[in-house]
Amino acid sequence: MAVNLSFAACGFLGIYQLGAVGALLRHGGRLLGGLQACGGASAGALVASVVITAPHKLESCKDFTHRFANNVRRQALGAVTPGYDFMLELREGIEEILPLDAHQRAEDRLHISLTHSKTRRNRIVSHFSSREELIQALLASSFVPFYAGLKPVEFQGETWIDGGFTDSLPIMPQGRTITVSPFSGPMDVCPPHTGRSLIMLRLANMNVHFSRQNITRLNQALFPPPEGRMHALGQEGYEDAVHFLKRESWTPSTS
């Protein structure tokens, strides 16, 4: 059976997903050996692009995420501070990590969720004619209006915004899609739910528990938590992914 991975839109909590990827690379050889495609929205699309095009750059991606978070944290008003160019810093990080042939590696294997800026309809793209076009798709999927800027990102002649507004956790049309999210819910790899409430919220095709912890995580997605908490989130993602691999018998229980 074909296996896919999908990473949720989650802003700076993408560090959790990068931790999960680290566990998959170290312990999930059987799973990755049958990997057909990866999908994602916003930060999840960025994580998916690393898995498909540059898994060897995982540590560099983690380092960039920490630097990026530190720079946002230093701004008086965070990402919306006048004079701070959020999208420029994101572009520089993407260019640093993606290999020159990233668009060829991504062809039909990387599925990026976008939201049309005018119709607000979702589109999943998996064809990229150049590395620059791939970068534009990743930037478009990550663009939160007003937070990241005022002008939507152009891709293939149209303008787009964050894919997390319309499909924050894309499911591939064929095979099983293993879902990864830093929000507790019914996803395959996610933090355990520790609250009493069983109420679920649906956020752009992703179900999450209505809990104080998830509300805190939603805030941290846009306003990165302190450095120590960022490192802890990465470790939690790693441990939750290892737990999933053991539960699903993808790796020996001794891993």
* Proportion of the chain above pLDDT 70, given as a percent: 98
Buried b / exposed e across 206-219, counting CB within 10 Å, b at 16+?
Answer: bebbebeebeebbe
Domain contains 143: yes
Mean per-residue pLDDT for 77-97? 95
Give 214-251 pLDDT, tens digit per residue.
899 999 999 999 999 999 999 999 999 999 999 999 87
Percent of the chain, pLDDT > 90? Answer: 87
Domain residue limits at 27: 3-248
Read off the DSSP letter of residue 34: T
- Using left for φ > 0, alpha for ψ between -120 and 50, and beta otherwise, residue 199 falls in beta
> Is 170 domain-assigned?
yes
Instruction: Supply the CATH number for residue 75's domain.
Output: 3.40.1090
Q: Higher confidence at residue 106 or residue 251?
A: 106
Determine, yes or no, domain membership for 253: no
Number of domains in the chain: 1
pLDDT at 183: 95
Decide if 254 is inside a domain.
no
Residue 86 pLDDT > 60: yes
Check residue 255 and give its pLDDT.
Answer: 43
DSSP-derived 3-state class of residue 180? strand
Q: What's residue 194's pLDDT?
A: 81
pLDDT tens profile 153-203 = 999 999 999 999 999 999 998 999 999 999 999 999 999 988 777 788 887
State pTM to two decimals.
Answer: 0.94
Query: What average pLDDT does this structure show over 37-53?
Result: 97
pLDDT band at 252 (very low <50, low <70, confident <90, very high): low
168 catalytic per annotation: no
Q: Give the span between the Cα atoms of 229 and 184, in whole angstroms.
A: 17
Q: What is the pLDDT of residue 156?
A: 93
Q: Check 6, 142, 162, 167 and give the catalytic one.
A: 162
Q: Is 162 a catalytic residue?
A: yes
pLDDT at 124 over 50: yes
Distance from chain centroid for Cα 65 = 12
Q: Tell me, what amino acid is at 147?
A: Y
The answer to whether residue 254 scores a pLDDT higher than 60 is no
Residue 93 lies in a domain: yes
